[in-house]
Chain A
Amino acid sequence: MIRSLFRSLTRRARVESDMAAEIQFHIDAFAADLGKRGVPREEALRRARLEFGPIEAKKEECRQSLGLRFFDELRADLRYAARLLKQSPGFAAVAIVSLAMGIGANTAIFAMAKELLFTKMSVPEAGRLRAFSWVLKPGQQFPAAAWGAFGPGMAAPFSYPIYQDMRQSNPVLDDLVAFKDVNQLPVTVDGEAEAVDAWLVSGNFYPVLGAKIIAGRPIAPEDDSPAAAPVCVISDAYWARRFGRSASALGQTIYLNRAPLTIVGVNAPEFKGPKSGTTAEFFLPIALFQQVIPDPKGSPLTRNFWFVMIMGRLKPGVSEQAAQTALAANFADAFRADLPEKKASDMPTFRLVAGGRGLDTQTRLFARPSYFLLALAGLVLLIACVNLANLLLARSASRQREMSLRIAMGASHWRVMRQVLTESLLIAILGGAAGLLLGYWGRDLIPRLFDQRAVHPQIDWAVFAFAFLITLATGLLFGLVPAWRSTRADVNCGLQETTRMSLGRGRSLFGKSLVVAQVGLSLLLLIGAGLFLRTLVNLQSSALGFHPERILLFGIRAPRRSYTGARSVTLFHQLHDKITALPGVQSASLSALPLLADMMSLNCFHPSGRPPTSDDADSAWTNRVGPGFFETMGLPIVSGRSFTARDNERAPRVAIVNRRLAKQFFGDANPIGQTINSCDTDEAKTPIEIIGVSADAKYSSLREEPPPTVYFPYLQSAEGSEMTFEIKTAASESSIIAEIREAVRSVDKELPLLDIRTQAQQIDETLSQERVFAILSAAFGAVALILASIGIYGVMSYTVARRTNEIGIRMALGARSSAVLGMILRESLWLTLIGVTIGLAAAAGLAKFAESMLYGLKPRDPLTFAGAALLLIAVALAAGFTPARRASTVDPMQALRHE
């Protein structure tokens, strides 16, 4: 039956000609039979036709039998709807553009959310992958040194010996793989240095996960041994960028952090590594850890050092719960075997978590913002729907006669409704198609605002289906009410000369309540936009405590292979001297942590002579800085002195504290000359003398007040192999970077400058989320404002048109035009005020959900609420002014003849 319908639809012309031929044959044959009985030919044909009945009507019945009627009517409806849209291009443009913006925003945000939150690793059966994690009980100390990110629901680091033990006895998962990300390693190819990200992976990583290779071979289990020839696999992007996809890259030797590696393979472009939202350039066997990143404390593979992530596929038929129980027992065994000196109470609690996305740091960061943005975009679409419903309602009122005529001529109510719905769906589909196009163009825009440059949302079938569904939903949402209304017409009234009678109070009341709803929803968005904009401005203008202007930042990492211990300090000292001497540099310094980069180092100190306490009173945020740091950053020293190059490893240990810490440790006493001790028992013996007090400055985040901070001279400690340089300069960025590159090259020609940016950009980077919210909510707010003004304009124009007669009478009776103007303006003001009241109440109720995203203002900030409300009222009055003016210039004579 469906096949028959499909055939009839696709070969429509054939169906029609066959039908005609068949009927013709029937008539001819009948006529011929009549002819045999002696009826003259002409007469025979006439009688044959007569006996057959009305041919066209029968054909129509045949079409109906084939199920074609629905489609014929649909085509007629669509043609009619298209013609109507063409007749009112203004309406069509407003409808399609507003829907396109709403659907486009939703599509782009949905695509981003899907990519950020749900895209799995490009390996077979990623859904079965599980990662190992652990949690600590409240107050529990972590039993070892660890390196890596961890959070709820995320893969957590384990020690390599525990990985090996658990791999030995693992009944519930397929073979376990281990991996660790190492970022910003210098790589030297053909004498040129740059920084890359790398993954250390266990030898079974490629065969077990099934990650694809497009050239050469993957890392094999044999490669994962200190005795094996050092090899690596590179990413497709790096292959393209560095080697132009040349086959000669395979077999080439490169130097990663000064360790020679032979390239043996290239990853498939879709395999980006086991961490969502990132792309790494290099993959190498984990056995090469000590060769590539030498650790003075010995190989991390044999120590109690927790750094590898562990993952495996759940065996078919094993339940999540059974796997969790079995692995937790395995973990306990491994923990006891590898760390016999630790107590059972030191053991973290094992957790099995989803591993399909690898190391998933993004869900935690982006889940809330994504859903919040989807809600905002959904609100815009809802406003667009309400606006359209309102415009359509006004249109349907002016088409009352047409509908009445159709019903009077026998069209069923359902048939009339179907026609109006077809029109709405046509508008929705046009808007949806344009929206999908907008979403496609803008798909990279929002991730870029979020500083997620590695994220490229795909417009795939799921996104397409989402766009299609919201399109249908919007079409029904804004079309259903006008469609239903159009059939409620009183046929008698509708057909009379004037349309006035059929326009009951109910209809205009309904239209007005739509406008009220629209105003309320728009105000919600405007208030959101105001809150987020002010949050961004508050953050950007918050007092930093230092001057970030014209400061250039870059990182230098001293490869441990060449610079062990104190030699790295010498390297940084040399670099600092060279850079300070450059002509374009006003002053230069360096620090272990860049300021306002979401990085922190939290330690415990206590004033000498007072025992350490266990509470927060002793915790201090630390930074190791070079001479000239305070001068370069514009961070004032309020008493004592700043660091100099003489505060080195041969000099007594010194520190500079900020005011807040001075107050916390010493109250109102003069801190200069006092000493502090580390709570760490190894270091506690050396007292550290305070030589200066600095002003309070923000440390890692704009949202935090300046914390109690202690600065140490980096020249007095050999720890850490990466420093960030701060260069105060008046020269242009590109020329100064070239100078610095040359200076660094003269010290060590294989040291890349890492992550070059200005301090202002650095601060901006930490505001990406706030900026996205501010930009998008402001854009959405603007759209809502425009739509609200269109809605008010539409409904007031309609009111004025409907009341032309009445206004004419009023004016004929002596009403002045200013009074009429006031009357109409008052009406639109009332609508707006009701909407604003509802919007304010809703915003007050919803604001608390945004509280954690705001800074420097309360969620029910009265200034923002009032400002948004006033803006909306002003725009509404402006939108209502044109119709009001039209009403006030009505010529009574014409208006009374208007009918």
Chain B
Amino acid sequence: MSKPLDLLQGTLDLLILKAVSLGPLHGYGILLRIQQISKDRLEIQQGSLYPALYRLEHQGAIASEWGESENNRKAKYYRLTRAGERQLRAETEKWTQMSAVIAGILGVEEV
């Protein structure tokens, strides 16, 4: 098994937005979903998730609500807001462009 990749700077926000865009999740659920989608190839320091969540909520990209978890415990659920949807779209597009440009540059070098 190859060593998991470190998260690129500034991508955690994007991953969180993507994770909650599929439906409301609590913090641990978000972590699990990101790991699941990335097939465990990304390493996220668990504690770092929360400052990012608080920051996104403070900015209004996500909203939170207390609810019941799968095993009947109280948990805080996050969902995407309208502003969050817009931010996700904009960031996704920026990311796609950026990766295309970088891939292009790296491709040239290989020739």
Chain A residues within CB distance 8 Å of chain B:
1, 4-5, 18-19, 21-23, 25-26, 28-30, 32, 51-55, 57-58, 61-67
Partner of A21, one of B31, B48, B57, B74: B74
Q: Please report whether the interface of chain B is mostly helix, strand, loop or mixed according to DSSP.
A: helix
Please indicate the chain A residues that have their CB under 8 angstroms from the CB of B59 in the complex: 1
Report how far A4 CA is from B69 CA in the complex, Å. Answer: 25
Known: A4-B58, A66-B58. A25 touches B73 (CB 8 A): yes
Report how far A866 CA is from B55 CA in the complex, Å. Answer: 67
Residue B27 at the chain A interface, CB threshold 8 Å: yes
Please indicate the chain A residues that have their CB under 8 angstroms from the CB of B48 in the complex: 53, 58, 61
Q: Mark B15-52, 1 if CB is under 8 A from A, else 0.
A: 00000000000111001000000000000011110111
Report how far A23 CA is from B26 CA in the complex, Å. Answer: 11
Partner of A66, one of B45, B47, B54, B71: B54
Extra 14 A-B pairs, beta carbons < 8 Å, given A26-B28, A61-B48, A62-B54 = A22-B76, A25-B27, A25-B74, A26-B46, A26-B50, A29-B28, A29-B69, A30-B46, A53-B45, A58-B47, A62-B50, A62-B51, A65-B55, A67-B58
Q: Please report whether the interface of chain A is mostly helix, strand, loop or mixed according to DSSP.
A: helix
Chain B residues within CB distance 8 Å of chain A:
26-28, 31, 45-48, 50-52, 54-55, 57-60, 66, 69, 71, 73-76
Contact status A25-B47, CB under 8 Å: no
Report how far A437 CA is from B39 CA in the complex, Å. Answer: 68
Contact status B50-A58, CB under 8 Å: yes
Please indicate the chain A residues that have their CB under 8 angstroms from the CB of B60 in the complex: 1, 4
Report how far A64 CA is from B52 CA in the complex, Å. Answer: 10
Report how far A65 CA is from B64 CA in the complex, Å. Answer: 15
Residue of A nearest to B29 (CB): A29
Report how far A4 CA is from B50 CA in the complex, Å. Answer: 16
How many whole Å from B55's CB to the nearest CB in chain A? 4
Partner of B50, one of A1, A5, A22, A32: A22
Please indicate the chain B residues that have their CB under 8 angstroms from the CB of A63 in the complex: 54
Contact status B57-A4, CB under 8 Å: yes
Please indicate the chain B residues that have their CB under 8 angstroms from the CB of A64 in the complex: 51
Report how far A61 CA is from B55 CA in the complex, Å. Answer: 9
Contact status A22-B58, CB under 8 Å: no
For the complex of A and B, the 6 pairs showing the least CB-CB separation, nearest first, are: A53-B47, A61-B51, A65-B55, A65-B54, A58-B47, A29-B28
Residue of B nearest to A62 (CB): B54
Q: Count chain B CB atoms within 10 A of each CB in A26, A52, A61, A66 and give the residue with the most.
A: A26
Report how far A23 CA is from B45 CA in the complex, Å. Answer: 14
14 A-B pairs with C-beta separation under 8 A: A22-B75, A22-B76, A25-B74, A25-B75, A28-B73, A29-B69, A29-B73, A32-B71, A55-B47, A58-B47, A61-B48, A61-B50, A62-B54, A66-B55
Report how far A337 CA is from B73 CA in the complex, Å. Answer: 96
How many whole Å from A667's CB to the nearest CB in chain B? 96
How many whole Å from B100's CB to the nearest CB in chain A? 31
Please indicate the chain B residues that have their CB under 8 angstroms from the CB of A51 in the complex: 46
How many whole Å from B24's CB to the nearest CB in chain A? 14
How many whole Å from B29's CB to the nearest CB in chain A? 8
Residue of B nearest to A50 (CB): B46
How many whole Å from A491's CB to the nearest CB in chain B? 31
Report how far A66 CA is from B55 CA in the complex, Å. Answer: 6
Q: Count chain A CB atoms within 10 A of each CB in B28, B47, B55, B60 and give the residue with the most.
A: B47
Please indicate the chain A residues that have their CB under 8 angstroms from the CB of B76 in the complex: 18, 21-22, 25
Please indicate the chain B residues that have their CB under 8 angstroms from the CB of A57 in the complex: 47
Please indicate the chain A residues that have their CB under 8 angstroms from the CB of B55 in the complex: 65-66
Contact status A22-B51, CB under 8 Å: no
Contact status B26-A65, CB under 8 Å: no
Report how far A227 CA is from B66 CA in the complex, Å. Answer: 81
Please indicate the chain A residues that have their CB under 8 angstroms from the CB of B57 in the complex: 4
Residue of B nearest to A29 (CB): B28
Please indicate the chain B residues that have their CB under 8 angstroms from the CB of A28 in the complex: 73
Residue of B nearest to A18 (CB): B76
Please indicate the chain A residues that have their CB under 8 angstroms from the CB of B28 in the complex: 25-26, 29-30
Known: A18-B76, A29-B28, A62-B51. A5 touches B45 (CB 8 A): no
Residue of A nearest to B70 (CB): A29
Contact status A26-B27, CB under 8 Å: yes
Report how far A63 CA is from B54 CA in the complex, Å. Answer: 8
How many whole Å from B22's CB to the nearest CB in chain A? 19
Partner of A52, one of B47, B51, B66, B74: B47
Report how far A19 CA is from B51 CA in the complex, Å. Answer: 10
How many whole Å from B86's CB to the nearest CB in chain A? 15
Residue of B nearest to A54 (CB): B47
How many whole Å from A57's CB to the nearest CB in chain B? 8
Please indicate the chain A residues that have their CB under 8 angstroms from the CB of B45 in the complex: 53
Please indicate the chain A residues that have their CB under 8 angstroms from the CB of B74 in the complex: 21, 25
Known: A25-B26, A25-B75, A29-B69. A1 touches B58 (CB 8 A): yes
Please indicate the chain B residues that have their CB under 8 angstroms from the CB of A23 in the complex: 50
Please indicate the chain A residues that have their CB under 8 angstroms from the CB of B75 in the complex: 22, 25, 29
Report how far A30 CA is from B48 CA in the complex, Å. Answer: 15
How many whole Å from B70's CB to the nearest CB in chain A? 9
Please indicate the chain A residues that have their CB under 8 angstroms from the CB of B71 in the complex: 32
Contact status B58-A5, CB under 8 Å: yes
Q: Count chain B CB atoms within 10 A of each CB in A1, A51, A52 and give the residue with the most.
A: A52
Residue of B nearest to A22 (CB): B76
How many whole Å from B6's CB to the nearest CB in chain A? 15
Known: A1-B59, A4-B58. A22 touches B47 (CB 8 A): no
Q: Count chain A CB atoms within 10 A of each CB in B54, B74, B75 and give the residue with the most.
A: B54
How many whole Å from B72's CB to the nearest CB in chain A? 12
Contact status B51-A65, CB under 8 Å: yes
How many whole Å from A782's CB to the nearest CB in chain B? 54
Q: Count chain B CB atoms within 10 A of each CB in A32, A53, A57 and give the residue with the most.
A: A53
Residue of B nearest to A58 (CB): B47
Residue of A nearest to B60 (CB): A1
Q: Count chain A CB atoms within 10 A of each CB in B26, B28, B50, B76 and give the residue with the most.
A: B50
Report how far A32 CA is from B71 CA in the complex, Å. Answer: 10
Please indicate the chain A residues that have their CB under 8 angstroms from the CB of B54 in the complex: 62-63, 65-66
Residue of A nearest to B49 (CB): A26
Report how far A22 CA is from B28 CA in the complex, Å. Answer: 9
Contact status B46-A65, CB under 8 Å: no
Residue of A nearest to B73 (CB): A25
Report how far A57 CA is from B48 CA in the complex, Å. Answer: 10
Report how far A30 CA is from B69 CA in the complex, Å. Answer: 13
Residue of A nearest to B55 (CB): A65
Known: A4-B58, A26-B27, A66-B54. A52 touches B46 (CB 8 A): yes
Residue of A nearest to B57 (CB): A4
Please indicate the chain B residues that have their CB under 8 angstroms from the CB of A21 in the complex: 74, 76
Report how far A18 CA is from B57 CA in the complex, Å. Answer: 14
How many whole Å from B82's CB to the nearest CB in chain A? 15
Please indicate the chain B residues that have their CB under 8 angstroms from the CB of A25 in the complex: 26-28, 69, 73-76
Please indicate the chain B residues that have their CB under 8 angstroms from the CB of A55 in the complex: 47
Residue of B nearest to A51 (CB): B46
Residue of B nearest to A23 (CB): B50
Q: Count chain A CB atoms within 10 A of each CB in B28, B57, B71 and give the residue with the most.
A: B28
Residue of B nearest to A55 (CB): B47
How many whole Å from A742's CB to the nearest CB in chain B? 83
Report how far A26 CA is from B66 CA in the complex, Å. Answer: 14
How many whole Å from B32's CB to the nearest CB in chain A? 8
Report how far A542 CA is from B47 CA in the complex, Å. Answer: 87
Residue of A nearest to B52 (CB): A65
Report how far A21 CA is from B75 CA in the complex, Å. Answer: 8
